[in-house]
Amino acid sequence: MNLPNAITLFRIFMIPIFVTVLLTEIPNREIWGVVVFLIASISDVLDGFVARRRRQVTTIGILLDPLADKLLISAAFISLVQLHLAPAWIVVIIIGREFAVTGLRNLASSEGLTIRASRLGKTKMVFQVIAVCLILFGARFGGSWRLLGQASLWLVLIVAVWSMVHYFYRFWGTIERQRKKRIHQRKKLFKIKKKQRLQGESQ
């Protein structure tokens, strides 16, 4: 456990607080929701900065950081659906993208590869944060804020799908080659052991 990973865990612990604030009937819950959400989102930038500055980039951090982001974003958009502020079908696609990329990361990890967050993925995260804040402001103040929120949600949808295609196009071939290489090595090792066993029996 180091400081960057502790900050990532802090972001995860902020998620139930954010959901509770947003789904509880309290005065100005949208504003408080934005405040908590921004604190959690800023910690995403902070843990990466600290990790690079202190040279504490670890494998667990690389895997845990995007997971924390996905949990936070999923909780935010599901809450928006619960509040009838976002269409469920758009949120399903956005969250589905997160699960798809997570599955790709897990598959890559099983092949000994680590997929870092791309610039497009980080841009997608920024757009998601902006969209959630604008939608909540739209629910609180209405008018132009509401229009901005809806427009930003469509932008998030486009970027999310685009980044998913980018991840799969960029890494699927590498994962497949790594898998075939490992199978070939196993077959080669099996043949060597078989040959050694036959030689031993002949002696």
Residue stretches of the chain with pLDDT short of 70: 1, 56, 59, 110-118, 173, 175-176, 178-179, 184, 193-196, 198-203
* Residue found under tokens 């900065």: 49
Q: What CA–CA distances, in Å, run from 158 to 114, 123, 163, 165, 203?
A: 25, 12, 9, 11, 68
What is the pTM for the complete model shown?
A: 0.78
pLDDT at position 118 is: 64
* CA-wise closest residue to 78 among 137, 142, 25, 19: 19
**What whole-number percentage of the chain has pLDDT above 70?**
81
